[in-house]
Structure formats: C-alpha cells, structure tokens
Amino acid sequence: MDAVASTRKMPMLEMPRDEQALAIVDLIYEAAFAAELWPDVLGAVSAISRSASGAVFVFSDHAPVRAITEAHVQPLLDEFMAGDTWKFSESVQRMCSAQPESFVRVDDFMTDEEIERDPVRKSATAFGVGSHVCTSVPMAGGELALFVFQRWLKDGLYDQAAIDLLNGLRPHLARASLIAGRLGLERARTAVSILGEIRLPAAIMSGSGRMLTANLLLEDMADVFLPTADGGMALADALANALFQQAIVQNRDNHSVRSIPVAGTKGRPALIVHLLPLRRAAHDIFSGADILVSATEVSLCATVPSPHIFSGLFDLTPAEARLAAALAAGRSVHEAATEIGIAVKSARTYLERIFRKTGTSRQSQLVALLTSARSFS
C-alpha cells in the first residue's frame, strides 16, 4: 500500500511525520485535477495541525465565490455561502485585503469588537469553532484563493509550530490551487479536456522529458518554448532553461515540484513556468504522463510583493524570502542582514539554502535570477 492510499485507511497521526508530509504532498497534487479529493487534503492537513477543519475559497470579480470544505463542517460552509453572508464578514474582507503571504492568525488582524460582531465568526463560535488561520494565493487571472483552517474552541489558539507546519505545505497548496481554480474546482475527466479548459499555456511530458501533447496556447508561444531533437522541450531563455532541464531530471528522480521565472521581452511580459508532478488519479487522467508544464503571467491588477513571489517560486521560508528580496534590490549580504534584522552569519546560512532551492551557486547568478522574478510584481 502506498503512502497516499494509507492516508485514507489509517489516521494521519499514526504515520511517521516524514511519511505524513510525503503523503499529503502527493494528495495535494492529485486533488489539483480531482476536486473530489480536496476534502481528503483538508482533512489530512487538519489532522497534523490539530485543526477542527479546513476549507479553500476562490474569489473572483467575474464569478461567484467557490469553496470546498470537510463534510463535518459543511453546514457552516452552507451558511457562509447563503445570501452572500461572507460579504458582511470583516474577517473575510480583512483577509482578502491583506492577502497574507503565509499562514497567519486571523484574530491578529482584528479587534475584539470586530470579532464579536462578525456574522461569520458568530456562526463559527456557535458551532464550537474558535481560532482561525488563513493564507492567500493571488492568481494570474485576478482570482484569489484563501486557505482557512480552524480549531475547536476547546483546543485553544494556533501555536507557532502548527503555523510553521502549515507554511511548509503552503507552496504545494498554492500550485495545486492555481490549476484547481482554473478548472473551477471540478474534476477534469481527460487530458484533452484539462488542456482545453485550463486556460493556461500547458503541456504534458513523460518522465524522460518527452513532450506528449500541448494545448494551442502553449504552441503559440514559440518564442518561449522550443522543441528539441529528441522530442523534448526547452525554454528559449538560457538561464531559465538550465533550471527547467534540471527540474525535469529531479522530477524523474523524486517527483520534485518547481516554478521557474522567465524574463520578459519587449513583446511579451515575464512568465512563471510551473512543473507539477502528476500523481495517482492525475497520472491516470493524463494517460500515464508524469509532468504538467504550465505558464502564467501576473496581470497588471495583481499586486504581489517580491518576498511573496520568491516564496511561491522557490519554496523559500519567509526569512529566506526577505533576504532574497533585499539581495534582488541590490543589497550586499551584510546590508541585507542589517535591513531585515538578522546576524550576518545567519544571512550566509540562509543564502546557502537559497542557492540550493534556486539551483544557483553564485550570488551574481542568484541576483540575476531574482531580478528577473521581481518584474512579476
């Protein structure tokens, strides 16, 4: 029995912690294409973070709010969705406005009076739900995904260890929600329907890097994606392509996930190229393909702070992302350390981690990569 199947047959907390994390990451990427599995994802994350439940919401100016939660709190979600109650919730509006780049305690953004009069929080309290944590995922098309986890009143507030655990899963939740949001949080039945409906330039590849099929949006980007003699695919940007080819090899070895910045040109804005592993049900939907490649551009209306971009692209911790942003702004390591309030020795430790996560080995190479990523904001 594999790790993901185990999450459905035994309590998450009975598994070793490293197996829990691997199983949840697998399940997250499966749910990206099989929306009926999102309650399983939310339940697994709730189990290891001592949450009562979790939910994901997708807000858009052009469509009704969409949401998925766990079955035992469905009555709360139904009440939330009925009659646009959420529009009158200060906590919801505050999170949509703040767009936290990591999981935060919602109550830290509100006064006691605001919490007490919030209709959504009143319903939650009556249901026995207390502390909430939330993070946001701004999408290229202007949609906003909110992941919310909550504890029973009897279990008290979220501690930092639980928040750190959730933040460790956040980059995977963000990438999966990018796809799920585009599919309307519904299951896509075939590879053809997914590539047609996803409304993103996209292609599927074998584990060896051979391109199997692409949609018309990606085929029209001949200045970005280049065919190779062996049936593979390359990026025209040399720096991005080195990371792209490395990511294909890493995906074959350990199902790694990667997002790669591609600098813009006069005729085209900067892009983020995502490589997502196709797991279990998603692997079956795509007829045995191993990698989904998609490209997104950040719309002019999407305001995304540079540290947020770096966290999402390279799975940096908040401290690493702040250091990366300072380096991209032209600071030296010493200046960056002073600016963000850490010791120079700590900054050098963070820098080594950033090198590993970005696939770079020199500070000049890193800054060039980060500078191209800064244009996304």
Domains and CATH numbers, the chain: 3-182 (3.30.450.80), 191-296 (3.30.450.20), 306-374 (1.10.10.10)
Q: Which residues pair with 58 in a beta bridge?
A: 66, 145
Decide: pTM greater than 0.85: no
SS3 assignment, position 50: coil
What confidence tens digit (pLDDT) does each residue in 21-35 have? 778 988 898 888 887
State the pLDDT confidence band at 308, using cuts at 50, 70 and 90: low
The sheet with strand 53-59 has its strands ordered as: 66-69, 53-59, 144-152, 129-138, 104-105
How far apart CA 265 and CA 94 sit, in angstroms, is 36
**Residue 210 DSSP code:** -
What confidence tens digit (pLDDT) does each residue in 69-121 have? 898 888 878 877 776 667 778 888 889 888 887 899 999 999 988 888 888 88
Average pLDDT of span 282-297 = 81
State the pLDDT confidence band at 134, using cuts at 50, 70 and 90: very high
Predicted pLDDT at 193: 63
State the pLDDT confidence band at 43, using cuts at 50, 70 and 90: very high
Predicted pLDDT at 215: 86
User: Can you list the positions of beta strands (E) in 98-232?
Assistant: 104-105, 129-138, 144-152, 202-205, 211-214, 225-227
